[in-house]
Amino acid sequence: MIEIKGLTRRYGGLTAVDNLTFSIGKGEICGFIGPNGAGKTTTIRMLATLLQPTIGDATIGGHSVSKDRMEVRRLLGYMPDTFGVYEDMLVEEYLHFFAAMYRIGADRRDKVVDEILQLTDLGSKKHTLIRTMSRGNQQRLGLARVLVHSPEVLLLDEPASGLDPRARIEIRALITELGKMKKTILVSSHILREMADLCDTIAVIEAGRLVYKGPVADALKLAAHGLVVEFKVAADPQKALDTVGVLEGVTRAWDDEGTLRASFDHPERDISLVPEALIKAGLKVTLFREAQVDLEEAFLTLTKGKVT
């Protein structure tokens, strides 16, 4: 549904996006991850036809973002990281206004707006003055606005930015629901733990360049360096590390803030060798399990801030 081919954007001598190439399939939720200044917003703005690429191109539904901008705009809904609302309007009026802008006929607007209000759980706010709404509800209204014309593709730039935990959960649930409706979604965020649960795939960029695109599970495997176990002993952790460090297949054993860890050279290694060796060495094992690597560790591994 989204095909990005050699997408590049330069500002004078600064290259904000550098030869970016990846694709997002129909119905896929792709998390767009990168440090501040990595080029996420610039990329999204090019996909939204608001910036012209310096080199390269992208297509959405087969239409070029450079040459077929109006066709692209009919297919997508774009929610920027910051946006204004008409605070003196009622919620219903606001959505009716944008429905008219998208040339939805007057005979259909009531039905369309009611459906969007129900989808975004704003039905009870229908007659509410926008300026009186919480930031979370205004963010939800911003998402409702981009859904008015039933777009096939959604570009969401930090949709949960600045929200409290409850509001973030609600926005995430709404995006999940949109995914079930087979919308193709590119969503950027710096809240990495939430992205792991939300997305089918992630695209990681740094300094404008793609460093990874693929399933979240594969990114976590890369961060784990193959296979990692964690363990604790009742006493003498150094002896435990020395014991485990010489086992066949163990590439490294270390103390991670009180929890001992060991990495293996292959994910199919028999990890039961670790507790067996510890017990044989006269050590009491109080914890042993395969380590669970999270998306934050994967991000550090895939970018220049690599964990070692």
**CB-CB contact of 59 with 116 (8 Å):** no
Predicted confidence at residue 307, as pLDDT, reads: 39
For residue 152, which phi and psi values (nearest 5 degrees)? -85, -25
For residue 163, the 8-state DSSP code is -
Predicted confidence at residue 302, as pLDDT, reads: 65
Looking up tokens 């409850």 gives 166
Confidence check: pLDDT of 163 > 90: no
Between 264 and 235, the higher pLDDT residue: 235
Confidence check: pLDDT of 224 > 60: no
Confidence check: pLDDT of 280 > 90: yes
For residue 91, which phi and psi values (nearest 5 degrees)? -55, -50
Confidence check: pLDDT of 228 > 70: yes
Q: Per-residue pLDDT averaged across 173-197, rounded?
A: 85
Predicted confidence at residue 252, as pLDDT, reads: 85
Predicted TM-score of the model (pTM):
0.75
Q: Per-residue pLDDT averaged across 107-118, rounded?
A: 94
pLDDT digits (tens, 9 = 90+) for 261-277: 888 887 778 999 999 99
213 to each of 30, 45, 159, 199, 286, how far by Cα in Å?
A: 9, 19, 21, 12, 38
Rounded to whole angstroms, how far apart are CA atoms 206 and 80? 20
- Say which range, 61-65, 82-86, 236-240, 291-295, has the weakest mean pLDDT: 291-295
Catalogue all structural domains in the chain, each as residue range(s) with its CATH number. 2-215 (3.40.50.300), 225-292 (3.30.70.100)
Q: Per-residue pLDDT averaged across 240-249, rounded?
A: 95
Residues ≥6 apart with Cβ < 8 Å to 3: 23, 58, 59
Predicted confidence at residue 219, as pLDDT, reads: 75
**In the chain, which ranges are continuous DSSP H helix?**
40-47, 69-75, 91-101, 106-119, 135-147, 165-180, 192-198, 216-223, 237-245, 273-280, 295-302
Mean of the per-residue pLDDT values of the chain: 89
Confidence check: pLDDT of 305 > 80: no
Predicted confidence at residue 171, as pLDDT, reads: 86
Is residue 151 exposed (0-12), middle (13-18) or buried (19+ Cβ within 10 Å)?
buried
Query: Residue 160: which pLDDT band, with cuts at 50, 70 and 90?
Result: confident
